[in-house]
Amino acid sequence: MTDTRRRVKLYALNADRQWDDRGTGHVSSNYLERLKGVALQVRAESDGSLLLESKIQNDTAYQKQQETLIVWSEGDNYDLALSFQEKAGCDEIWAKICQVQGKDPSVEITQEIVEEEDERFDETQEASAFSIELPPCEVERLEEINELIASCVPFPIKREKLALALETENYIKKLISLFHSCEETSNIKALHKLYEIFKNIFLLNKNPLFEMMLSEDALFDVIGVFEYDPSQVQPKRHRDYLKSVSRFKEVIPFGNTELINKIHQTYRVQYIQDVVLPTPSVFEENMLSTLSSFIFFNKVEIVSLIQEDENFLRVLFAQITEESTEDERRRDLVLFLKEFCTFSQTLQPQNRENFFKALSTLGVLQTLEVTLAMDDIVIKTASVDILTYVVEHGPSMVREYSLQQENTCEEDQYIVNVIIEQMICDPDPDLGMAVQLSSILRLLLDPDNMLTASVVNKSEKTDFLNYFYKHCMHNLVAPVLANTSEETPTRETSQNAQLLSLILELLSFCVEHHVYHIRNFIIQRDLLRRILVLMKSRHTFLVLSALRFMRKIIGLKDEFYNRHIINGNLFAPIIEAFKANNGRYNLMDSAIIELFEFIRTEEIKSLAWHIVEKYGKFFDKIDYVRTFKGLRTQYEQHQERLKDRGTIESPHILRNNRFRRDPRQLDEDEEMWFNNDEDDIDDMESNLNDSLSYKLDNEFDQFNKKISERKSTLGLTYSELDNVKKYNDLENVKTLPINRGTSPRRTSLNVSHQTSQSSPHLEVQTTRKGLVDYDEDSDEEENEDEGNLSNTTKRPRLSS
């Protein structure tokens, strides 16, 4: 047989009754020896792989819809569809199917659908012999007509025969004529019967009947029938709405008649499905699958036709951003773009991704920057919806655009900052738009969807987070800082509290997913202290949001955060809130106890010891939970272990670098430098001064002793010895700086010790180099060092 290839899309109906795109390719009908018959084959146009191979069975029911669609079932609950690009290709394949099955190509369906096994038994033969004889279309026979149609709905074979009879006898037009007569005479009882009749005709789920009822001359009459719902006291006014209220606006002329007709048809069918038809029962949900498929394929075709017209889309974006465009027209243009993006949701994932890439190329993000900042609430809301679609399907595309803006425009014009500004300035008391924008920010900041995009840009995560924390984060936290400048929140309106709660949720998300960037930001700006001011808010939900943020940080068990909390005494606001709650059994009480219980069960020692030492007397009085007694027990056990260790070890050991230690043992100096805060630096300097002075005295005693011995050996006089000392420049002994690579801070110590006029004057400089050196610290300390210190020498510590 001749291999007639036609371009098609292959669809399969999934478990949710939605059509999945299985790919685009070319279909052919060939005789296959191994299948012993003619089969439909679809090969992918991209790589020639076989997408479908289906033998044309004599007993399979194939259905032709909308001139370019062939639908059939293979096995139970496995429906397939071929959507042809050209009508000629569909006609040719349909003729081949009909030829194999011995059917006339003019039919819309090739076989009668077979009953299910459990329904078939004796009724199958009865149904096969069953012939439909429709009663005369008269008012007196409406009850009989309704009973006949309702009795055929449950059985596929009867549905087929009834649909054929209704089509053959042109019965739809007769019923519509009868409807006109009943409406003119206000025969409400008859109108209610006609409502039931047309409802059951829709449930027959037959494409030929849909085409008759949804045609131009019958559509409004069918909608009129559905206005007379027996369950409603007054008739609905669907026709008035469609004719007067609902109007078709062509904001930019399409110039494509086929596209315009397809839009009209889709809108009407969608209105009938969503509004006119009664809500289907559980047993009727799948009875309108043909109508749903009709709408689905129409939307796919509409999006494809518009997308192919690049000139139309260029004009659309240009007119939206032009300053000369009138507000009303701009509103219509943005609403059209929103509807266009909504229709794109019917596309399959790959096609949807290509769709949004095309929009990005045409400048959708630049357009949204303009429309989001407009005062018109309709334009702004529609723009947020469009941006939601774009970010959901292409967050990497938005991030890439944001990074490109870094060198091309001002910071306040960055699209991320525009999103943050609109979220903060949402005028809606319920913050509907702010919630939507916070979801968009979360998608952009989510590192999980950055990983998939890293195939294209491997540094996307690092680059975007650096960009965000450098240019945008300060804008996000600005409302928090503005509201916590005093000991209590300054603005306590409900709307402001909701906004702060939204921001705290975003910050909690960042704490969980951006470990390094957010930690530096919080510690450097003392942000946690400011957030905990909100613990004094009169809005309980905001207090709980601040507490959740603290809980998220403690949950990381990060010692950097723990030290920051301890040194800043940041448990104080939580303790005060716990005291103010006064033991009431509520969410606040449970949340605070859970925080301390987590510290106990996870044995976060630094926090646990701090809590017991600082607030132990207060917590010892609380006995309705065992959390605080458990913390006390852990603390006392720790103290016992310290005492036991102290009895075994020497009371004081002056460590010398010449002794080698276990390489696994942490250097105590390093631990001291790492743990101590700047508040303890004075005590530490004093101790170190004493230690250095003591060691230097010993060293110079030994040095003088050796000189005396050498003098006695060589027979030198004291005056000769002084000359030797001067020659060797012993009056100014300098030690090299000590480099402690693990010290977290740098400081300078001056140790001056002069025993006598002839004793050498020493200046010892120690430089402690931290894990992270901040520019401002370095400059400040280096300037101090230059004025006060000179280079000195000290024997370096032996490292293990």
pLDDT tens string 507-549: 999 999 998 899 999 999 999 999 999 999 999 999 999 999 9
Region of poorest pLDDT, from 79-93, 112-126, 173-187, 592-606: 112-126
pLDDT digits (tens, 9 = 90+) for 264-323: 888 888 888 888 876 665 445 556 677 788 888 888 888 888 888 878 889 999 999 898
CB 539 within 8 A of CB 497: yes
H helix or E strand, kind and range, residue 21: strand 19-32
Q: How far is CA 713 from the centre of its chain?
A: 85
Say what the pLDDT of residue 465 is.
92
Say what the pLDDT of residue 154 is.
80
Neighbours of 583 (CB within 10 A): 10
47 pLDDT exceeds 90?
no
For 82-88, what is the mean pLDDT? 84
68 pLDDT exceeds 80?
yes
Say what the pLDDT of residue 790 is.
40
Give the tokens for residue 507.
Answer: 């910050």
Region of poorest pLDDT, from 126-140, 367-381, 626-640, 764-778: 764-778
Say what the pLDDT of residue 443 is.
94
Mean pLDDT of the chain: 78
Whole-number percent of the chain with pLDDT over 90: 35
Say what the pLDDT of residue 133 is.
84
Check residues 437 and 757 and name the one with the higher pLDDT. 437
- The contacts found for 783-790 with CB under 8 angstroms, 24 or more apart, are 784/748, 785/748, 788/748, 788/750, 789/748, 789/750, 789/763, 789/765, 790/734, 790/763, 790/765
User: 242: which DSSP letter?
Assistant: I
Neighbours of 237 (CB within 10 A): 13
Neighbours of 665 (CB within 10 A): 8
- Which fold is adopted by the domain 6-101? PH-domain like (2.30.29)
Neighbours of 1 (CB within 10 A): 9
709 pLDDT exceeds 60?
no
Check residues 455 and 186 and name the one with the higher pLDDT. 186
Neighbours of 478 (CB within 10 A): 14
CB 27 within 8 A of CB 40: yes
pLDDT digits (tens, 9 = 90+) for 396-419: 899 999 999 988 888 889 999 999
Three-class DSSP category at 712? helix
Say what the pLDDT of residue 174 is.
92
